[in-house]
């Protein structure tokens, strides 16, 4: 139950104010989700450098967690390039070139991982878009593309871990924001678990992320993976997915969850409601489209 | 044209201004709309409103007689529930354009989203581009004109009305079929298109209801019946209930539909007792004047609250299930006892409004009888999500009761077995619900409390959503609640008991620290003042009574409410039967019963040592059964059993 947003400049040779754009879009649909807010932001990718974001809490609890993480990183031979503790989160960049899935599953035992990627960073916490921006300075972030999400908790608790976006646990740089409910969650999850994947939450959005990332890791194109997702996933959904170079959407056949797109030669922006898109272009009547039920698409950036 | 700049003015303020200009007969133009929601809702004057840009959800919703022109796009539900008047959309429309319209003309120059014209009753929805999934879903009447392609499942479960498709009919919905068009219909369409200056040269195909699902194959028969209280005696494995169920199934060959509540023994308020000896309670004179019972419900967010002389109101019961005379009697009784009445499904009649001093107006998924004028004369607005007797299902009104008069108020064809939609067209999640609540508030200038009726299922989750979506109070209805017609399996086996419902609700609110942000009116098997006080002790702010009021007003509990031949004239729409009911007399009977409830509440509250019902607390209660103790967390102290029996029996007026 929530509002989603995504934006990408088609030519991303120059970074743009991704953070500010997403904060504004989420501001526009804050009514859809007052409980928590999150962002998946994509910046310049650096070869063999991994950006890790983890929940560590605050105060003493955080100090213990950070020490544990540092020890783990040392054991794995990941040298720290820089790090920072902001709000509930610990952000650390490391030199690492091994198997990311193994690394991240092992890291999960030392800490609560929010995201891992060469360019992806997920920042999420309880509170409104404005609150979270205030705490984490989202509006200063410049990157190539990103997703955003405001959440109204219906079944699980209001806590930072339950906020969106979700990272595709174990797969670098794949993130998702989702509005809806996957009803064959356990069936799909068991299938993926049989393939050796681990899940960190019972949230259906994490499942979509891992489902798509699994396809990508088999060399299937994102667009094709979105197509099969409409057949494989039961329920009501409108979701946005992002990778290092692409964003995409899929929408269920019943068209129960809203989604509006705005596309020009230069950019693509997608949101739950047009009011979010208008936040980017106040005072303009936009030529928007509501994607039909059962459709999907992707956009990739050129660099 | 008077300009209103939404870049500078909030929508709420803007809507106030639009209504003011409407009264003055001045046209309005909206600048910088930026796809904001609720533009122009609740307008009831014939002015022109021009929107320079895009509008968001429910543009022109709940309005009557105005003319809207939106230059660009609109979000979900353009023209929601609009009576007369028109909306012209220059661009595309989101999902459910023209939802529940009752006469308006909605014209969309671009494409339109899914479920166009859902539950519309009358008027025209015209789209110059393509329609989408399930256009005409559950429509009850009116006309949809699609110049482009129909989209999948056009006419899904429509009951009546016509859909004309100029492009490709992609695929027909359930119970829809293609039929011939006569030239007069084509002429009318061309006249409409001319009037809105839409060029069209092609030909049309016409989609209508195929008539296969409008009625049950076998209708419910009137049976020699045993009253509910005999029927629900369940001490033996084979019992009169099972016997009656079998007889009926042997006649109709499907699940049985009946009135009244569940017949299985479940943990209930009667499994609780007061911790104190109340044998002397009520012996004092004038006990009623010694206890403060007046209660305000619905004012916590600034709306005008309902002012109840005691923490009791009437449960929503539909005009439809009940006769107009019965609704009148209940309304009169509610006025005499100075509490609130509720329309239930199916609209508000003048007689009802006149009889009840305080009246809540209920909105259900079919939007049967829902409209801005009655909203404006209501004292509270209520969104029905579900009810305790049949959580997750819509109302049932069998053909016999769907008379021409009743059909007219509801805006549906007469003589169908009406199965009201179980879902709202525009409430598919908590996120949509918040926008709907806001629409109701905007349309009525934030004057009225907005409540939610919730059948007890996943109360823990649902009540949290209710708070977050800003409702003023919840009418929480447990599994013991009754219904005018429901399938017997659902009545008996679906839902959770009233006792569990209130406890789950309170726990959930405590979990998120928001008990003070919503009021709870508990219902479902509350029989009298004793039950009421127990509910208040547990933490309800008030209770609502359904079944007990109709019994007080003459119901004989034969459970054949759905058949429509009610011998007492209560659950019928047949004038011959209704003649037997004397509303003035029954109003007094119901009033006397309500006063006995008042006396019991006063006597027990006083007996427990308080002078104000707000002092009642769970510390005053014990549980008589292990189940009730487990549900409520109250101490299990069976030795208190029957201590309150006496006060059930004694009550004076
Ligand atoms: C004849 C009848 C009609 C009803 N109609 C409605 C209705 O239109 N809307 C609604 O929310 N509940 C309806 N209900 C359910 C009542 O509001 C309420 O949930 C229930 O009756 C409360 O339990 P009680 O009857 O045990 O007091 C109806 C109940 C009866 C008996």
Cβ-contact B389, B455 below 8 angstroms: yes
pLDDT of residue A303: 67
Pairwise CA distance, residues A94 & A88, whole Å: 20
Report CA(B483)–ligand 1 centroid distance (Å). Answer: 5
Q: Which of B:86-105 have CB within 8 Å of A? A: 91-92, 94-95
Least CA distance to A2: which residue of chain B? B431
Question: DSSP letter at B397?
Answer: E
- On chain B, the residues whose CB falls within 8 A of the CB of A34 are 468
Identity of the residue in B115, B152, B430 whose CB atom sits nearest the CB atom of A152: B430
pLDDT of residue A173: 94
Sign of CA dihedral B584, B585, B588, B594: negative
Nearest residue (by CA) to ligand 1, atom 4, is: B317
At A31-63, the pLDDT tens digits run: 999 999 999 999 988 888 999 999 999 999 999
Chosen for mutation from A27, A272, A273, A284 (greatest number of chain B CBs closer than 10 Å) is A273
Report CA(A22)–ligand 1 centroid distance (Å). Answer: 46
Nearest residue (by CA) to ligand 1, atom 12, is: B316
Pairwise CA distance, residues B239 & B235, whole Å: 8
Q: Strands B473-477 and B519-523: what pairing?
A: parallel
- Nearest Cα neighbor of B418 from B157, B134, B143 is B157
Q: Strands B176-179 and B205-209: what pairing?
A: antiparallel
Rg of the Cα trace of chain A? 18
pLDDT of residue B255: 87
Q: CA A296, A297, A303: angle at the middle one, nearest 5?
A: 160
Task: Specify the 3-state DSSP secondary structure of B467.
Answer: helix
At B284-312, the pLDDT tens digits run: 889 999 999 999 999 999 999 999 999 99
- Nearest Cα neighbor of B405 from B324, B317, B318 is B324
pLDDT of residue A179: 93
Contacts of B518 (CB under 8 A, 6+ apart): B300, B463, B466, B467, B471, B472, B473, B474, B509
Nearest residue (by CA) to ligand 1, atom 3, is: B317
pLDDT of residue B141: 96
Verify whether the Cβ–Cβ distance A255 to B430 is below 8 Å.
no
Report phi then psi at B603, rounded to 5: -60, -45
| Residue B525 Cα: closest atom of ligand 1 | 26
pLDDT of residue A36: 94
Report phi then psi at A123, rounded to 5: -125, 120
Residue A201 pLDDT level (bands cut at 50, 70, 90): confident
Contacts of B81 (CB under 8 A, 6+ apart): B61, B62, B99, B100, B101, B102, B367, B370, B371, B372
| Residue B344 Cα: closest atom of ligand 1 | 8
Q: How far is CA A71 from CA A65, A117, B487, in A?
A: 10, 20, 63
Least CA distance to B463: which residue of chain A? A154
pLDDT of residue B644: 53
Cβ-contact B56, A271 below 8 angstroms: no
Number of helices (H), then strands (E), belonging to chain A: the values are 8, 15
pLDDT of residue B653: 38
Verify whether the Cβ–Cβ distance A34 to B468 is below 8 Å.
yes
Report CA(B387)–ligand 1 centroid distance (Å). Answer: 7
pLDDT of residue B650: 53
Pairwise CA distance, residues A273 & B76, whole Å: 9
Domains of chain A: 3-45+119-300 (3.60.20.10)
Residue A12 pLDDT level (bands cut at 50, 70, 90): confident
Q: Strands A296-300 and A246-251: what pairing?
A: antiparallel
Verify whether the Cβ–Cβ distance B430 to A256 is below 8 Å.
no
Least CA distance to B151: which residue of chain A? A292
Could you write out the three-class secondary structure of B533-583?
HHHHHHCCCEEEECHHHHHHCCCCCCCCCCCCECCCCCCECCHHHHCCCCH
Task: Specify the 3-state DSSP secondary structure of B84.
Answer: coil
Least CA distance to A33: which residue of chain B? B431
- Residues counted in chain B: 653
Q: Which two tokens stand for residue B415?
A: 């003589």
Q: What is the pTM of this model?
A: 0.93
Cβ-contact A150, A36 below 8 angstroms: yes
pLDDT of residue B645: 53
Report CA(B522)–ligand 1 centroid distance (Å). Answer: 12
CA A97 to chain centre: 23
Question: DSSP letter at B247?
Answer: H
- Nearest Cα neighbor of B72 from B45, B51, B97 is B51
- CB-CB neighbours of B221 under 10 Å: 10
Task: Specify the 3-state DSSP secondary structure of A108.
Answer: helix
Q: CA B559, B562, B568: angle at the middle one, nearest 5?
A: 60
Cβ-contact A257, A3 below 8 angstroms: no
At A141-162, the pLDDT tens digits run: 999 999 999 999 877 777 888 8
Chosen for mutation from A154, A274, A277 (greatest number of chain B CBs closer than 10 Å) is A274
At A204-251, the pLDDT tens digits run: 998 999 999 999 999 999 999 999 999 999 999 999 999 999 999 999
Could you write out the three-class secondary structure of A45-78?
CCCCEEEEEEECCCHHHHHHHHHHHHHHHHHCCC
Report CA(A65)–ligand 1 centroid distance (Å). Answer: 55
Q: Which two tokens stand for residue A82?
A: 């820089």
Report CA(B425)–ligand 1 centroid distance (Å). Answer: 22
Pairwise CA distance, residues B29 & B53, whole Å: 11
pLDDT of residue B435: 96
Pairwise CA distance, residues B465 & B567, whole Å: 42
pLDDT of residue B652: 43
- On chain A, the residues whose CB falls within 8 A of the CB of B95 are 255, 258, 290
Report CA(B261)–ligand 1 centroid distance (Å). Answer: 9
- Residues counted in chain A: 303
pLDDT of residue A122: 96
Q: Which of B:445-474 have CB within 8 Å of A? A: 461, 464-465, 468
Pairwise CA distance, residues B543 & B178, whole Å: 51
**Which of A1, A2, A247, A252 is flagged as catalytic?**
A2
At B77-91, the pLDDT tens digits run: 999 999 999 999 999
Chosen for mutation from B31, B35, B173 (greatest number of chain A CBs closer than 10 Å) is B35
State which of B269, B344, B496, B526 you would mutate to test the pocket of ligand 1, scoring each by most atoms of that ligand within 8 A of its C-beta.
Answer: B344
At B218-233, the pLDDT tens digits run: 777 666 778 888 888 7
State which of B382, B422, B483, B548 you would mutate to test the pocket of ligand 1, scoring each by most atoms of that ligand within 8 A of its C-beta.
Answer: B483
Helix (H) or strand (E) holding B409: helix B404-410
- On chain A, the residues whose CB falls within 8 A of the CB of B468 are 34-35, 152
Verify whether the Cβ–Cβ distance B73 to A288 is below 8 Å.
yes
The burial of B264, by beta-carbon neighbours within 10 Å (0-12 exposed, 13-18 middle, 19 or more buried), is given as middle
Q: Which residues does A contribute to its contact with B (CB < 8 Å)? A: 1-3, 31-35, 152-155, 158, 179-181, 236, 253-258, 260, 272-275, 277-279, 282-290, 292-293
Q: Is A2 labeled as catalytic in the residue annotation?
A: yes
Pairwise CA distance, residues B45 & B523, whole Å: 39
| Residue B545 Cα: closest atom of ligand 1 | 27
Pairwise CA distance, residues B168 & B186, whole Å: 17
Q: Which residues in chain B show pLDDT less than 50?
A: 651-653
How many beta-carbon pairs under 8 angstroms link A with B? 113
3-state helix, strand, coil in chain B (%, to 5): 30, 20, 50
Verify whether the Cβ–Cβ distance A286 to B54 is below 8 Å.
yes
Task: Specify the 3-state DSSP secondary structure of B466.
Answer: helix
Q: How far is CA B40 from CA A187, A288, B99, B545, in A?
A: 46, 22, 16, 37
* B32 close contact with A: CB closer than 8 A: yes
Which protein residues are within 6 Å of ligand 1, measured from CB? Answer: B 261, 315-318, 321-322, 344-345, 362, 384, 387-388, 453, 477, 480-484, 523-526, 545-548, 561
């Amino acid at each position: 139950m929530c509002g989603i947003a995504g934006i990408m400049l088609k030519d991303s040779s120059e970074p743009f104010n991704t953070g500010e754009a997403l904060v504004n879009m989420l501001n526009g649909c804050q009514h859809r989700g007052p409980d928590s807010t999150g962002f998946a932001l994509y910046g310049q990718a650096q070869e063999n450098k991994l950006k890790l974001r983890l929940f560590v809490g605050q105060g003493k609890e955080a100090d213990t967690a950070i020490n544990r993480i540092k020890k783990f990183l040392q054991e794995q031979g990941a040298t720290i390039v820089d790090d920072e503790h902001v709000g509930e989160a610990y952000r650390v960049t490391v030199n690492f070139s091994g198997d990311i899935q193994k690394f991240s599953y092992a890291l999960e035992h030392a800490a609560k991982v929010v995201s891992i990627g060469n360019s992806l960073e997920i920042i999420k916490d309880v509170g409104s878009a404005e609150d979270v921006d205030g705490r984490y300075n989202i509006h200063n972030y410049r990157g190539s593309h990103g997703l955003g999400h405001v959440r109204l908790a219906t079944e699980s608790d209001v806590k930072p871990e339950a906020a969106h976006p979700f990272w595709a646990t174990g797969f670098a740089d794949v993130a998702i924001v989702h509005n809806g409910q996957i009803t064959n969650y356990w069936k799909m999850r068991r299938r993926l678990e049989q393939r050796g994947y681990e899940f960190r939450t019972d949230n259906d959005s994490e499942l979509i992320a891992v489902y798509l990332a699994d396809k990508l890791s088999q060399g299937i194109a994102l667009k094709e993976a979105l197509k099969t997702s409409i057949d494989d996933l039961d329920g009501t959904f409108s979701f946005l997915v992002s990778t290092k170079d692409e964003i995409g959407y899929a929408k269920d056949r019943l068209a129960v969850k809203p989604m509006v797109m705005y596309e020009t030669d230069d950019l693509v922006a997608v949101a739950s409601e047009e009011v979010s898109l208008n936040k980017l272009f106040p005072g303009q009547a936009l030529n928007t489209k509501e994607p039909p039920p059962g459709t999907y698409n992707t956009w990739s950036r050129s660099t | 044209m008077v300009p209103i700049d939404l870049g500078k003015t909030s929508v709420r303020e803007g809507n106030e201004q639009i209504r003011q200009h409407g009264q003055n007969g001045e046209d309005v133009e909206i600048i910088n709309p930026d796809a904001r929601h609720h533009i122009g809702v609740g307008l009831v004057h014939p002015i022109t409103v021009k929107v320079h840009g895009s509008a968001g959800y429910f543009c022109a919703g709940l309005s009557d007689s105005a003319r809207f022109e939106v230059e660009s796009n609109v979000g979900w539900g353009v023209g929601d529930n609009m009576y007369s008047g028109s909306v012209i959309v220059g661009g595309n429309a989101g999902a459910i354009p023209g939802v529940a319209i009752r006469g308006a003309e909605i014209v969309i120059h671009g494409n339109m989203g899914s479920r166009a014209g859902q539950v519309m009753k009358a008027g025209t929805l015209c789209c110059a581009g393509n329609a989408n999934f399930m256009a005409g879903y559950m429509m009850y009447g009116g006309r949809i004109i699609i110049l482009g392609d129909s989209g999948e499942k056009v006419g899904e479960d429509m009951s009546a009305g016509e859909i004309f498709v100029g492009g490709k009919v992609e695929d027909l919905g359930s119970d829809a079929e293609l039929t011939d068009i006569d030239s007069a219909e084509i002429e009318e369409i061309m006249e409409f298109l001319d009037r809105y200056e839409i060029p069209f040269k092609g030909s049309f195909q016409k989609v209508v209801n195929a008539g296969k699902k409008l009625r049950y194959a076998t209708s419910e028969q009137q049976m020699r019946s045993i009253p509910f209280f005999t029927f629900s005696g369940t001490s033996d494995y084979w019992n009169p209930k099972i016997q009656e169920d079998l007889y009926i199934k042997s006649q109709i060959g499907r699940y049985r539909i009946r009135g009244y509540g569940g017949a299985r023994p479940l943990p209930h308020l009667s499994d609780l007792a007061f911790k104190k000896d109340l044998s002397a309670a009520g012996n004092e004179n004038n006990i009623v004047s010694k206890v403060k019972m007046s209660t305000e419900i619905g004012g916590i967010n600034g709306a005008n609250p309902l002012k109840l002389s005691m923490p009791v109101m009437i449960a929503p019961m539909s005009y439809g299930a009940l006769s107009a005379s019965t609704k009148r009697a209940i309304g009169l009784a509610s006025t005499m006892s100075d509490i609130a009445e509720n329309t239930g499904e199916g609209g508000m009649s003048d007689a009802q409004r006149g009889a009840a001093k305080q009246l809540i107006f209920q909105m259900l998924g079919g939007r049967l009888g829902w409209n801005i004028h009655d909203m404006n004369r209501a004292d509270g607005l209520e969104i029905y999500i579900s009810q305790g007797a049949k959580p997750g299902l819509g109302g049932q009104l069998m053909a016999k009761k769907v008379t021409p008069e009743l059909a007219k108020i509801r805006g549906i064809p007469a003589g169908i077995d009406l199965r009201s939609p179980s879902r709202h067209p525009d409430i598919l999640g908590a996120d949509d619900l918040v926008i709907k609540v806001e629409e109701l508030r905007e349309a009525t200038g934030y004057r009225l409390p907005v409540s939610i009726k919730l059948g007890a299922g996943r109360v823990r989750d649902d009540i949290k959503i209710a708070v977050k979506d800003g409702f003023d109070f919840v009418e929480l209805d447990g599994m013991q609640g009754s219904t005018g017609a429901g399938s017997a399996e659902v009545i008996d086996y679906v839902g959770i008991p009233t006792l569990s419902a209130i406890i789950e609700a309170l726990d959930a609110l405590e979990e998120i620290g928001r008990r003070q942000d919503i009021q709870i009116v508990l219902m479902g098997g509350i029989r009298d003042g004793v039950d009421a006080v127990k509910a208040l002790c547990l933490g309800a702010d008030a209770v609502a009574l359904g079944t007990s009021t109709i019994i007080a007003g003459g119901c004989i509990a034969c459970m054949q409410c759905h058949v429509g031949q009610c011998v007492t004239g209560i659950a019928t729409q047949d004038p011959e039967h209704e003649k037997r009911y004397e509303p003035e007399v029954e109003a007094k009977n119901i009033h006397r019963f309500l006063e006995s409830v008042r006396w019991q509440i006063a006597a027990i509250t006083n007996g427990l040592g308080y002078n104000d019902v707000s002092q009642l607390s769970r510390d005053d209660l014990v549980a008589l059964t292990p189940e009730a103790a487990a549900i409520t967390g109250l101490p299990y102290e069976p030795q208190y059993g029957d201590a309150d029996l006496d006060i059930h029996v004694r009550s004076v007026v």
